[in-house]
Every structure is written in structure tokens, then in C-alpha cells.
């Protein structure tokens, strides 16, 4: 494939999957690593590996795997540096300033804040589940069985529920 065809195919794929890429990055973004930085880094890695995609899985599955791996890598790099403020503190400050009209948005922020407290592996599973992906496809992306995805989601929901109870006490 010549470079113009590659660029055109890449551009079409990015346009089609931009929402999915952004959703993954939103789950890993915080005040130290904005969504735009994660999206940009993910797109760079997708471009670098675009020639190596062999078509053994759906392109969306491959792209999400690259995106999740990129976000996890950037998250690990960030955590190896000292932190000054947590995402939870930031979200609490924002939410305390919200009016009743912004209740839905405030709840979403709380949910994202709680999801960000999960392990990077569990975060990836939740993200893919929220994207509406079937368990077998989630399993293919993260490298576990569909049954294991199901079990992990039950445990993750319980963890999120317990976080909720702890915050309201």
C-alpha cells in the first residue's frame, strides 16, 4: 500500500473510531494528563503500529487495545513522578460548586472519579463495557475469557458501590 492510501485509510479509521478513542482517554485523564494529550499519544501509537495490524481481529478491537495500552503506560509514567493533588479532591471541589441543574453532570463526574480509582485493568474493562462491547470482545482486548470478564464486572460494580457508601458516611 502506498503512503497516500495508508494515510487515507488511517484518516477514515480515525474518523470512524474517534468517539471510542476519546472515551478510552477520558477514563484515564486527570489534571496532570489531559484527554487531548492521551488522544494525541494514542493516535501516534496507532499510526506507528498501523502497518503491523494483521486483521486477525476487528480494527476497532486493535485500536482500543493500543489506546488502552497507551493510557496505561502514560498513567504509570505519571505515577512514578510525585503528585501534588488528587483527581478526587478536584472533582469534589467542582461538584460542591454545582447547582441542582447540574446534578446529572455532577453524578457523572463522581462516577468517573470512582472509576479512576480502580486499577488500570479494571478501568479498561469498565470502559469497554460502558462502550457496549460484548464480553468476548472485551476479553479479547484485555486478554481474559468472557466468563472472567463477567466475574470481574460483578466485582467491579461491588467495589464502585462500596466506594459510594464510604463517601456518603
Residue 103 confidence (pLDDT): 62
User: Is 96 among the domain residues?
Assistant: no
User: Is 106 among the domain residues?
Assistant: no
Residue 40 confidence (pLDDT): 93
Phi, psi of 58 (to 5 degrees): -65, 145
Identify the domain containing residue 52 by its residue range: 1-84
**How high is the mean pLDDT in each 10-residue block of the chain (169 residues)?**
86 92 86 86 93 87 92 81 48 45 67 86 90 90 92 89 60
Residue 95 confidence (pLDDT): 44
Residue 158 confidence (pLDDT): 86
User: Is 69 among the domain residues?
Assistant: yes
User: Is 112 among the domain residues?
Assistant: no
CATH number assigned to the domain comprising residue 63: 1.10.1740.10
User: Is 47 among the domain residues?
Assistant: yes
User: Is 168 among the domain residues?
Assistant: no
User: Is 126 among the domain residues?
Assistant: no
Residue 82 confidence (pLDDT): 55
- Into how many domains does the chain fold? 1
The distance from CA 47 to its chain's CA centroid, rounded to whole angstroms, is: 19
Task: Determine how many CB atoms are found less than 10 A away from the CB of residue 103.
Answer: 11
User: Is 59 among the domain residues?
Assistant: yes
For the entire predicted model, the pTM comes to 0.60
Residue 46 confidence (pLDDT): 94
Measure the CA angle with vertex 4, ends 52 and 19; round to 5°. 65
Residue 98 confidence (pLDDT): 43
CA atoms within 13 A on the CB side of 77: 10
Residue 98 in contact with residue 106, Cβ under 8 Å?
A: yes
Amino acid at each position: 500500500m502506498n503512503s497516500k492510501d495508508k494515510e487515507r485509510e488511517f484518516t477514515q479509521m480515525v474518523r470512524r473510531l474517534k468517539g471510542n478513542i476519546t472515551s478510552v482517554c477520558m477514563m484515564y485523564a486527570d489534571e496532570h494528563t489531559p484527554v487531548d494529550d492521551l488522544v494525541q499519544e494514542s493516535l501516534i501509537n496507532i499510526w506507528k503500529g498501523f502497518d503491523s495490524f494483521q486483521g486477525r481481529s476487528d480494527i476497532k478491537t486493535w485500536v482500543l487495545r493500543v489506546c488502552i495500552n497507551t493510557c496505561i503506560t502514560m498513567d504509570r509514567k505519571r505515577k512514578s513522578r510525585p503528585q501534588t493533588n488528587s483527581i478526587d479532591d478536584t472533582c469534589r471541589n467542582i461538584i460542591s460548586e454545582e447547582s441542582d441543574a447540574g446534578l446529572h453532570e455532577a453524578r457523572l463526574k463522581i462516577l468517573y472519579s470512582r472509576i479512576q480509582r480502580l486499577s488500570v485493568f479494571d478501568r479498561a474493562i469498565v470502559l469497554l463495557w460502558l462502550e457496549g462491547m460484548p464480553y468476548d470482545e472485551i476479553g479479547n482486548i484485555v486478554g481474559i475469557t468472557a466468563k472472567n470478564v463477567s466475574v470481574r464486572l460483578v466485582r467491579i460494580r461491588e467495589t464502585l458501590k462500596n466506594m459510594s457508601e464510604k463517601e456518603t458516611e
